[in-house]
Amino acid sequence: MTTPILQFGTSRFLQAHADLFVSEALEVGKALGSITVVQTSGDPARAGRIGALSAATGFPVIIRGLEDGMAIERELRVRSVTRSLSTASDWAEVARVFVEEARVVISNTGDKGYALVDGDSLDGVPRSFPMKLLALLHARFRSGGASLTILPCELISRNGEVLQRVILDLANRHVADVNFQSWLSDRVIWGNTLVDRIVSEPIEPAGAIAEPYAIWAIERQPGLTLPCEHPSIKVVEDLTPYERLKLHILNLGHTVLADRWQREGRPEAECVKDILADSAIRSDLERIYRDEVVPGFRVHHLGEEAEVYVETTLQRFLNPYLDHRLRDIAGNHAEKIVRRIIGFQQWCPGVPMPRLSEIAAR
């Protein structure tokens, strides 16, 4: 068994996004092959998930929501994951798969996934994801250096370029080989991507509940290898409009609501649809979109696109079939404010944003 797709991260998002797309593409012969999933955190609480992801029967993804105005609910079986490993216990096998099998690497390592660890090194099993990736890339280079596409799915602007800079900087400090550094730039394709799907709930031990809407936008570049062909995967010339709309409308809206939820000490189990049932809160969010967000997009000649995306976003937020809990959205709240709100203000200097400024100041 070989797996040309290697995935770092076991999140419910990836289960209902990349894993599902590849599974559906495999059924019609339009995927590179199956997936090896790698847990990078070593969290023992997720040990059960690791085995369940690669079970022969697959795992469930339930699509629930409104599609063309009609209520739908369908359960799909995801069978694209055929091997699951952990860097904590299976490092040698992870390295072998990375070197011998992988053609495409996918990652979704959370909001702090690119953070480094003081004192981390290439000796043994590195602790941070970037150092782990550097060690694996170096092993591949030493074994012949076959080209590779890396498709990060972290919610970071220009995520491929950011990850490339992190790895190149680490290589400069930890690997004294200019040929390796050249290989990282010339033979490794660092894809800029944007992912967009609300995955509201996990199914234990593996699986997820998600909305019908889904997109995986990947910026075109020479040498790019895709994991599969799928209607939800879009190869685009410029990722910027997709990225900005998603980050500064949908994600920003989530953070605005999470801020209100935290500040007011609202119910622990409250969901997005529940908080928006409060007409005052919904009106406040709509005013932020109308008076602060859309004017910012107009500065960049994306006003009409922003208005359409705001309408779509509000419909998705109000989906009565998804329980998207605000306590989940509120995770890593400070980092999300920086990227989603402060980043928007910096992108649109001179546009008045009093409500967003209040949230950023907190």
Q: What is the pLDDT of residues 261-272, one digit of tens each?
A: 999 999 999 999
**pLDDT one-digit tens code per residue, 204-241:** 999 999 999 999 999 999 999 999 999 999 999 999 99
Select from 188, 194, 195 the least CA-distant residue to 224: 188
Nearest to 194 by CA among 144, 153, 228: 153
Class of residue 238 by CB neighbours under 10 A (exposed 0-12, middle 13-18, buried 19+): exposed
Give the model confidence (pLDDT) of 4-62 as tens digits: 999 999 999 999 999 999 999 999 999 999 999 999 987 766 777 899 999 999 999 99
158: region left, alpha or beta (phi > 0 left; psi from -120 to 50 alpha):
left
At 117 the pLDDT is 94
b/e sequence 14-41, b meaning 16+ C-beta within 10 Å = bbbbbbbbbbbbbeeeebbbbbbbbbbb
Length of the chain: 362
Question: Left if phi > 0, otherwise alpha if psi is -120 to 50, otherwise beta: which for 97?
Answer: alpha
pLDDT recorded at residue 338: 95
pLDDT tops 80 at residue 111: no
| Average pLDDT over every residue of 130-148 | 97
**Which position has the token pair 């009106």?**
283
The type of residue at 320 is P
CA distances from 237 to 86, 188, 197, 222, 242 (A): 35, 19, 21, 11, 11
